[in-house]
Structure 1
């Protein structure tokens, strides 16, 4: 039984060897055809711009759905989308067959988004700075006033009964001054740590045509199919011979 299997295996090998040009040639032709289609097929251009949004809390500038509704014109042929790729980083992606259209649309979106980011940043920064100025003025006024209270207390003779209202006013002013100082220091720290939004990178690349991958896959599949076809061919031929004998 084993000798018969070995004989059949040998006959298969001989048959494949005789048909080697079909076994190799047809998959190679298919591989070349697929490679040619991959090489000359239209490839899309992909434009990407990555922004660092800093400390801008506005959802219209950080939420992809809201940004797409605000910036993307559906009437245009190019495909554009916004996405958050990581914390405080927003990506604009534009895809089209025409490189000039990709560049034009990407530049337009970059300009609009940059202006809005900087405007939101400046509004928050300036409002915080204005609050600091107001608090510093109030702090200065209260410090001048409490100095007068201290002078009034020192002017009182040692044997006189202290003015309880004056002492209470001093205590109140000290508490107010402490709160102002704490708030001013906190806001000054916030201003120092504010990160200005900026464009990190901008690029336009052509999409991959997957030439090598398509060539390998097409050759492997067509080679396997040729094996099946040759096996079926040999089986039919042997079956006909057996029936005719």
Structure 2
């Protein structure tokens, strides 16, 4: 008798089709379980996130721009994270359960930080202004001295030694006047072009929940698990049937 031809794939597909309801129940159950686990484990994924950026301008003092130092200062603020995305910007991120709480905490932190920046900026302007004022007075003095020395050189009774002394004084005064004028010009430009700190517009949004991703992963894993489970069930069913027909059973 010719051996009966078997269509294994067809048999498995038919077996799966008769139990197609498992392809709905198991993936859904797996998706719900994984989503619930992520929801419980990722407690920080619930609530709101407020993000605000402060432009530091020309303030470059390490105590005010280094993220580690800033974090140490605001370490008591719950849910606060700080990073420096660019050289002259500091970004504050606040996580809170409610939108109002996130906004309030962010507003308080950014305003306090901005006040420190503004104080440092004004201090730099004041110091530079004082130095500029002193340089301008020094320039005036040097101009007066040069006028006096040049006037002395016009004296017909001036001896050679005194003339050389005045010439030397004029040379030194002109060099110093040039350096003082250049410094004064640079300081004036620094004051005029100084970039003051600013609080940039903030935004508040819901924290990423990861629920859609968890559901998708759960469904995919559930489908794989269903195929594996039905394949095992079919294999065991065929094996049981085979040994039953042979009159032999495995205990």
TM-score (structure 2 length as normaliser): 0.85
Partner of 2:10: 10
For the pair 1:234 / 2:234, whether they are aligned, the reply is yes
Shift of 1:241: 0.6
The match for 2:47 is 44
The corresponding residue for 2:59 is 56
Equivalent positions of 1:153-168 (< 5 A) are 153-156=153-156, 161=160, 163-168=163-168
Distance 1:156 1:202 in 2: 76
2:105 is matched with 105
Report the CA distance between 1:150 and its aligned residue.
1.3
Q: Distance in 2 between matches of 1:38 and 1:165?
A: 87
Helix, strand or coil at the partner of 2:214: helix
CA contact (8 A) 2:51 2:203 kept: yes
For 2:156 and 2:206, the matched residues in 1 are separated by 86
Q: Cα RMSD over matched residues?
A: 2.7
What does residue range 1-245 of structure 1 map to in structure 2 within 5 Å? 7-28=7-28, 30-31=30-31, 43-73=46-76, 78-156=78-156, 161=160, 163-245=163-245
Calculate the TM-score normalised by the size of structure 1.
0.86
Q: Is the 8 A contact 2:59 2:121 kept in 1?
A: yes
Q: Is the 8 A contact 2:30 2:221 kept in 1?
A: no
Deviation at 1:29, TM superposition (A): 5.1
CA distance in 2: counterparts of 1:120 and 1:160, whole angstroms: 56
Structure 2: unaligned runs, 5 residues or longer: 246-251
List 4+ stretches of structure 1 deviating above 3 A: 28-39, 159-162
Using a 3 Å threshold, how does the CA distance of structure 1 residues 189 and 226 change in structure 2: closer, same or farther?
same
Q: Partners in 2 of 1:120 and 1:172 — Cα distance?
A: 37
Q: Which runs of 5+ in 1 are unaligned?
A: none
CA distance in 1, matches of 2:73, 2:156: 68
Q: Quick one: distance in 1 between partners of 2:35 and 2:168?
A: 90
SS in 2 for 1:46: strand
Q: What is the CA deviation profile of residues 41-85 of structure 1, one whole-angstrom value per residue up to 9, with x for unaligned ones? A: 972211111111112122221112211222332xx6x31122211
Question: Structure 1 residue 188: deviation in Å?
Answer: 1.7
Structure 2 distance, partners of 1:63, 1:189, is 27
SS in 2 for 1:20: coil
Equivalent-residue separation in structure 2 for 1:53 and 1:18 (angstroms): 68
Task: Please state whether the residue corresponding to 1:175 is helix, strand or coil.
Answer: helix
Give the CA deviation at 1:198.
0.8
Question: Shift in Å at residue 35 of structure 1?
Answer: 6.5
Cα distance in structure 1, aligned partners of 2:36 and 2:236 = 35
